[in-house]
A and B are shown apart, each in its own frame.
Chain A
Amino acid sequence: MLAFEPRDPNLVLAGLEEGRLSPVEALEVLKHSVELGQAGPAGGQRLEEPSSSSAWRLKEALADLDSLIGLDKVKALVREIVAYVKIQQIRAARQLTCEPLALHMIFSGNPGTGKTTCARLFGKIFREMGVLEKGHLVERERADLVGEYIGHTAQKTREQIKKALGGILFIDEAYSLARGGEKDFGKESIDTLIRALEDYRDKFIVILAGYRDEMETFIRANPGIRSRFPIHIEFPDYTTDELLRIADLMLKQRDYRLDLAARARLEFILTRRAGPGNDHSGNARLVRNIIERAIRRQALRLVEKPNLSREELMLIRREDITDDFSA
């Protein structure tokens, strides 16, 4: 079961050190982990990994999460899940009953609200906690899962699931699997997926993502999915203010900065295009595209100029900012 395998003996030893486990209990758990470790060379390798570095990497992943702008509710929920997994592991080490961890999730929200970023961080976090073996993210959509003729779909879906074992299968716009009615092959894909959730119970985590309303309809229409995906995370739209902070952060990471006029223009564009009710509402991807475009336009503006100062190389001016990506 996912819950706790004494997969990480370091956790057991830490429990002994911290006075949560007696040596008798610790040995009892280690006995099982030794059997586990001997099952395969890969397992054995893992046992030898020093826990301090994985604890450190876990802290790092959580710090990465905290450094994301906005997403306060998401952050709180992630902490809740992390705490839950930890306590289940400790409970198991103390031989208390624990439920198998069901960590499949549904992410709903508009594009560019941080769903993929969070999924990637979840992969890291769960790997360091010993829940997932590899923690990689396999990002797929309908076209990767649904086939063209009868029988093709199950095979295609299974292939992608195999790739995701040990990590996270992230299905974007998952509601599209239920589109097209009874005869659509999407249904076969869903059935295959649900089957795999049982077969590879603790080997991987599935995250279904998509727009909020469509996801709700999708889940309501598929009760098998609702019962197997206990964690629902809603990604609210970013406010214009948050989008500006995201822009500042992106620029800072790249050693650029906006002058006042450029900032005003960016704010204007974001309010117009990414404000509530627009098709880009709350979209951080739009911000990234604008920034990347601005960096290229600044380069074009500077490339012919002799004697560039450091300041000039860093500064993005009003004329660099555009939301026209066609040119």
Chain B
Amino acid sequence: MRDRQPGGRLSGMKRCTVVGRPNVGKTLLVLSLAEHLKARTVDVTFMDPSGAKQVRTYTVSAAIRELVGPRPHQTRCLQSIVVEVPAGKGRKVVELVDTTGLVDHIHEDLQIRRAMAQTLQAIRPAQIIVHVVDASTAGRDGSGPPAGAIDRQIADFAGSRGGYFIVANKMDLPDAARGLARLQRMFSGCAVLPVSAAERTGLREVKRHVLRSL
């Protein structure tokens, strides 16, 4: 049906899959993390739900320009990037997999439903799952619980395994501090890291958590 192994996986390479609702900043987080790890260019492997694969090389800034957008469901297939993470004296190779955002309801667009199925498929074999949530919407008043049904479900699904943590993104926006506190209360069992992918803050913590899960 689909390729289960994003990219040409090297043996022993760990996979770190980034999931969350649409428009919480998953792609920007992946790219800014690559940048934080001193990657100048990234080879992005696009994996269509149909199994077609395409590799393009970008500089990080070009990738951000091309792949990040303000609309939800900017990312509609798996996009993976291989990065090296310094670990002790050596380096470890990690595949960062960016995914299509998951929604609570049944989405009306077939293409997006396919892409979401692909996301779920990518979650299953992942060693590390990074769950991205939007801290600023979580902190806004009158917006109900800080995270929705799908976030609870992801936490439930992945939380029982090692190598799972939450990134509270968009810490640069208003209300985010309050959102972070709410999220930490809601997901009290696991690490919630404050990050602003746009301003490149909190990435060191993310890297540390990824390393610890390897």
A residues apposed to B, CB below 8 Å: 9-10, 12-14, 16-24, 26-28, 30-31, 34, 47-48, 50-52
Choose from B1, B105, B106, B154 the contact partner of A51 (Cβ within 8 Å): B1
Partner of A27, one of B108, B110, B157: B157
* Interchain residue pairs A-B with the least CB separation, the first 4: A13-B117, A23-B102, A27-B153, A16-B117
A51–B102 alpha-carbon span in the complex (Å): 22
Decide if B121 touches A13 in the complex (CB within 8 Å): yes
Chain B residues bordering chain A, tally (CB within 8 A): 23
Of A9, A14, A30, which contacts B157 at CB under 8 A?
A: A30
Neighbouring A residues of B107 by C-beta, 8 Å = 19
What are 14 contact pairs spanning A and B, CB under 8 A?
Answer: A16-B117, A17-B113, A18-B113, A19-B106, A19-B110, A22-B104, A23-B104, A23-B120, A24-B149, A26-B117, A27-B120, A27-B150, A27-B154, A30-B120
Residue of A nearest to B115 (CB): A17
The answer to whether residues A24 and B150 also contact, given A48-B4, A51-B1 and a CB cut-off of 8 A, is: yes
* Residues on the A chain within 8 Å of B114, using CB: 17
Q: How far is the CA of A20 from the CA of B102 in the complex (A)?
A: 15
- Shortest C-beta distance, A13 to chain B (Å), equals 4
A-B contact count (CB 8 A): 63
A21 cross-chain contacts in B, Cβ below 8 A: 106
Which chain B residues numbered 92 to 113 have a C-beta less than 8 Å away from chain A?
102-108, 110, 113
In the complex, how many angstroms separate the beta carbon of B78 from the nearest chain A beta carbon? 14
CB distance from A34 to the nearest CB of B (A): 6
A305 to B108, CA, bound (A): 73
A50 touches B1 (CB 8 A): yes
The minimal Cβ–Cβ distance linking A11 to chain B, given in whole angstroms, is 11
Please tell me which one of the listed residues B1, B108, B116, B149 contacts residue A52 in the complex, with CB atoms under 8 A apart. B1
Q: Which residue of A lies closest to B149 (CB)?
A: A24
In the complex, chain A residues whose CB is within 8 Å of the CB of B116: 16, 23
Contact of B113 among A19, A30, A50 (CB under 8 A): A19
Give the residues in chain A near B120, CB-CB below 8 Å: 12-13, 16, 23, 26-27, 30
B117 & A30 in contact (Cβ 8 Å cutoff): no
Interface pair B110/A17, CB less than 8 Å apart: yes
When distances are taken between beta carbons in the complex, the residues of chain A under 8 Å from B4 are: 48
Provide the bound-state CA to CA distance between A17 and B116, in Å: 8
B37, chain A: closest CB distance, angstroms = 29
Q: Is the CB of A23 within 8 A of B121?
A: no
- Taken together as a complex, chains A and B put the C-alpha atoms of A44 and B19 apart, in Å, by 23
Q: Does B124 contact A (CB under 8 A)?
A: yes
A18 to B102, CA, bound (A): 15
Nearest B-chain residue to A37, judged by Cβ:
B124
- Residues of chain B with a CB closer than 8 A to A50's CB: 1
- Decide if B156 is an interface residue (CB 8 Å cutoff): yes
B103 / chain A contacts, CB cutoff of 8 Å: 22-23
